């Protein structure tokens, strides 16, 4: 595999140089640890879904007759996360470590109400009282390049961890990244992915639609190589990814901003091209999907119009973490938490309004209202009715600087009117997430909310749709 062959030779010179450097210079690990950054997070999340015309098929409901299953899901949990990032040893080659420990606890739910992806579920369909994971990574640094081996989070557009739950997803493998004057290069070879509800740091590599573990398919690795550059009003990104013996995927992004009147006009183009490769374990894959978003911002206001289209006869699939129920490995204008609008031959458009609530004295609070509609999807072999979602969303981000505790709030009421047979069932789903962060270092903003979305993923071998349960971003 192209990325694998690139990453491993790069590691050998670094490790050899490190060994020579360690013999030549005595390292003070106390100084390295003292230069580190420790962050403690407390996340509290309540997530409810009302299916209205359809049953909840998760948890204990799957053991009941269909007409006796609950039509809703409710989970409330609390998590504690500790993340530590050390400094580097002095010299040309620096050595350091990253570590994390996280645990989530059930506050309220039950076997008939579980399934939102907030809490782990046991083999009998009951939500566990607690779950968590711990791990870390060794890291090497030369100038502006950094190599990691172990557990880490990745946010590449072709492989991104889901951090919308109270415990985030994690990847395991090699990761190399360098930044030079606005140019970012990165490569990774991953051998395991862990989802938010898994109590292990090395889970399976899956996909959101294909769900290979349900067909006895074992994916041994995923790799990607990418570059992104931002200079002046232009931004450009290209990534090449490979899911071992399944597909090769290309991603391209082009963005531009310019002043227009009293505001700023921005354009953003995103494109994915996916084809089967290797042993083609999922069968023939030939997919092309893209989107264009144009937005105008003036002061605290922003208005966005977006169009997205899948020109292929299959849905656009992407890499999932662990059991395949979580992933953010899709960067398209209309890909939302309740639907990705990526069905066969599907076209969609979006109208969105954002406002920063400076007038309330809350410049970090953003309120968004959007309407999305999908149409023109191919009804065979995977029929899908039209999407008609609308969502009201607000987002609280912590200030970028300053000591002391910070509180993030993320309320998310969303509704998508759709028939029960919809491939992306989207019921009413109120959600509230709070995070208390107490280090003396800047905090990363809480990412956009994401919700569990039942799907009908493709059974790629036969080329026919088969209900496979739930998946989420």
For each of the chain's 473 residues, which pLDDT tens digit applies? 444 433 444 444 444 444 444 434 555 667 777 778 899 999 999 988 888 778 888 889 888 888 888 888 999 999 999 999 998 988 889 999 999 999 999 999 999 999 888 999 998 999 999 999 999 999 999 988 999 999 999 999 999 988 888 999 999 999 999 998 889 999 999 999 998 998 888 888 989 887 787 778 889 999 999 999 998 899 999 999 999 999 999 999 999 999 999 999 999 999 999 999 999 988 899 999 999 999 999 999 999 999 999 999 988 999 988 766 678 899 999 998 778 999 999 999 999 999 988 888 887 788 899 999 998 766 544 333 333 455 555 544 444 445 556 555 666 555 554 433 344 444 555 656 665 655 544 333 333 333 333 333 333 332 333 333 333 44
Predicted local confidence at residue 117, as pLDDT: 87
Nearest Cα to Cα of residue 387 among 417, 415, 367 = 417
Residue 461: per-residue pLDDT: 31
Q: CB under 8 Å to 16, separation ≥6 — which residues?
A: none
DSSP result, 106-136: EEE--TTT--SSSS-B-TTSPBPSEEEEEEE
For residues 169 and 191, give the distance between their C-alpha atoms in angstroms, rounded to a whole number. 14
In sequence order, the β-bridge partners of residue 101 are 82, 134
Distance CA 249, CA 67 (A): 42
Whole-angstrom distance, CA of residue 109 vs CA of residue 398? 29
**Residue 467: predicted pLDDT:** 31
The dihedral formed by the CA atoms of 178, 180, 184 and 189, expressed in degrees to the nearest 10: -20
Indicate the length of the chain as a whole number.
473
pLDDT at 430: 62
| Global pTM value | 0.80
Please report the pLDDT score of residue 15 as a whole number. 47
Question: Which residues are CB-neighbours of 79 under 8 A, at least 6 positions away?
Answer: 41, 42, 43, 44, 45, 102, 103, 104, 105, 132, 166, 167
End-to-end, the C-alpha distance of the chain in Å comes to 27
Q: What is the largest CA-CA distance in the chain?
A: 72
d(CA 55, CA 21): 62
């Amino acid at each position: 595999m192209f990325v694998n062959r690139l990453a491993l030779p790069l590691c050998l010179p670094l490790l050899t140089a490190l060994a020579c450097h360690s013999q030549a210079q005595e390292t003070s690990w106390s100084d390295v640890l003292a230069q580190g950054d420790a962050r403690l997070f407390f996340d509290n999340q309540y997530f409810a879904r009302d299916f209205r015309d359809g049953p909840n098929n998760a948890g204990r409901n799957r053991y009941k007759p269909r007409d006796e299953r609950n039509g809703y899901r409710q989970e409330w949990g609390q998590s504690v996360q500790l993340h530590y990032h050390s400094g580097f040893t002095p010299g040309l080659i620096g050595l350091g470590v990253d570590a994390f420990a996280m645990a989530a606890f059930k506050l309220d739910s039950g076997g008939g109400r579980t399934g939102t992806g907030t809490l782990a579920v046991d083999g009998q369909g009951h939500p566990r009282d607690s779950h968590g994971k711990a791990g870390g990574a060794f890291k090497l640094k030369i100038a502006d390049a950094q190599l990691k081996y172990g557990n880490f989070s990745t946010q590449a557009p072709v492989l991104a961890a889901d951090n919308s739950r109270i415990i985030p997803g994690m990847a395991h493998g090699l990761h190399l990244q360098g930044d030079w004057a606005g140019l970012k290069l990165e490569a990774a070879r991953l051998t395991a992915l862990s989802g938010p509800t898994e109590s292990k740091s090395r889970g399976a590599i899956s996909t959101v639609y294909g769900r290979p573990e349900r067909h006895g398919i074992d994916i041994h690795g995923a790799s990607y190589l990418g570059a992104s550059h931002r200079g002046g009003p232009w931004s450009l990104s290209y990534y090449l990814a490979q899911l071992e013996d399944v597909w090769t995927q290309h991603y391209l992004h082009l963005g531009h901003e310019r002043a227009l009147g009293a505001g700023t006009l921005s354009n953003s183009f995103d494109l994915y091209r996916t084809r089967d490769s290797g042993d083609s374990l999922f069968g023939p894959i030939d997919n092309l999907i893209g989107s264009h978003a144009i937005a105008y911002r003036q002061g605290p206001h922003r208005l966005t119009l977006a169009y997205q289209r899948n020109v292929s006869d299959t849905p656009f699939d992407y890499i999932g973490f662990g059991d395949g129920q979580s992933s953010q490995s899709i960067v398209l204008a209309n890909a939302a938490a309740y639907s990705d609008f990526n069905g066969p031959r599907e076209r969609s458009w979006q109208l969105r309004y954002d406002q920063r609530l400076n007038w309330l004295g809350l410049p970090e609070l953003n309120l968004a209202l959007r309407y999305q509609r999908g149409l023109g999807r191919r009804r065979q072999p995977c029929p899908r009715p039209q999407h008609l979602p609308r969502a009201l969303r607000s987002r609280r981000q912590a200030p970028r600087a300053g000591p002391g505790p910070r509180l993030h709030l993320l309320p998310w009421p969303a509704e998508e009117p759709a028939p029960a047979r919809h491939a992306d069932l989207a019921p009413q789903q109120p959600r509230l997430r709070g995070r208390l962060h107490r280090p003396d270092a800047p905090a990363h903003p809480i990412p956009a909310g994401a919700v569990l979305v039942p799907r009908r993923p493709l059974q790629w071998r036969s080329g026919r749709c088969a209900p496979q349960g739930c998946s989420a971003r």
